[in-house]
Amino acid sequence: MEKIPEFLQEKLLKQYGQEITEQIINGYSEKRPVTLRVNTIRANKTRVIEELTKAHIIFKEVEWYQDALIIENVREEEIKKLEIYEKGEIYLQSLSSMLPPIILEPKADENILDMAAAPGGKTTQMAALTGNGAMITACEKNKIRAERLKYNLEKQGVRSVNIMVEDARKLDDFFSFDKILLDAPCSGSGTTNIFETKFTQELIERSAKTQEELLRKAIKILKPGQEMVYSTCSILEQENENILKKFLSKVDIVPIKEIPGIPTLPTKIEGTLCVCPSKLYEGFFVAKIKKRSL
């Protein structure tokens, strides 16, 4: 296994202590299986299971999400050869990244903002969860990534999504949303991103600054009394709890119920969820917050 950066190990030890840090480091080294989500806009689970069985692909179900499957005997390349992949009937997505839309609980007819939408996994998931009935605004500031987002939305049969090639921090304050998903850009400290040369202390600090700016904007344009989800694929409090704490005078934490089978890390804010890197899961932080009424 590659060695994790020394500065990260020091951060983890300071935040979590020796025993949990060892658990996290072991989690980084696991080779996670391929996981996918049945796209209920284009297919149903029975059809997907039939196709996987026909292709001799072994899978198991996920206790907390009926549309998720864990593939046990092949990698992504084999899944991408299947007709159900070509037709957008399934979407390859990590289990951890399926959590924020589920926790947000989007509903049909709601006006929803996805602040950092590309490549579209969570946008398409929210569309599927609402039976294509929500009005979703999907922001992506990078033109190339926005094209990828558009491609995925079309492939998955998603309607009622307005793509804005815009930095969500610059959205007009006159916007107003029923729900917001802010899956914020982050250092990726919960993922194998830590083994890349670009993973630095400076990246963490830059990410935290962006996260704070995005969350400030999100709270401003979320309707009073309504809920949003803040999430990152980081397990560092600098990008998670420390960001949230700056806004606790304006929002209340909506406690996330315990989800069976998910390995968690302790958090500094009660009611938030931090997933521990493991054989099945990337490290991931999720908080659900409610904007106080005026």
Q: Does the annotation count 233 as an active-site position?
A: yes
Work out the average pLDDT over 31-37. 97
Catalytic residue among 139, 186, 233, 276: 233
Work out the average pLDDT over 151-167. 96
Q: What percent of the chain has pLDDT over 70?
A: 100
Work out the average pLDDT over 203-223. 98
- What pLDDT was estimated at residue 191? 96
Work out the average pLDDT over 94-102. 98
Q: What is the pTM of this model?
A: 0.97
pLDDT of residue 244 exceeding 60, the answer is yes
pLDDT of residue 232 exceeding 80, the answer is yes
How confident is the prediction for the chain on average, in pLDDT? 97
C-alpha 191: how far from chain center:
12
pLDDT of residue 243 exceeding 60, the answer is yes
**Cis, bond preceding 119 (omega within 30 deg of 0):** yes
| 190 to 25, 53, 118, 216: CA distances (angstroms) | 10, 32, 19, 24
Work out the average pLDDT over 212-234. 98
With bands split at pLDDT 50, 70 and 90, how would you rate the model's confidence at 1? low
Q: Which of 95, 122, 126 is nearest to 263 (CA)?
A: 95
The full set of domains in the chain, from first to last, is 35-92 (3.30.70.1170), 99-291 (3.40.50.150)
pLDDT of residue 24 exceeding 90, the answer is yes
Work out the average pLDDT over 73-97. 97
Q: Which DSSP string corresponds to 75-101?
A: -HHHHTTSHHHHTTSEEE--HHHHHHH
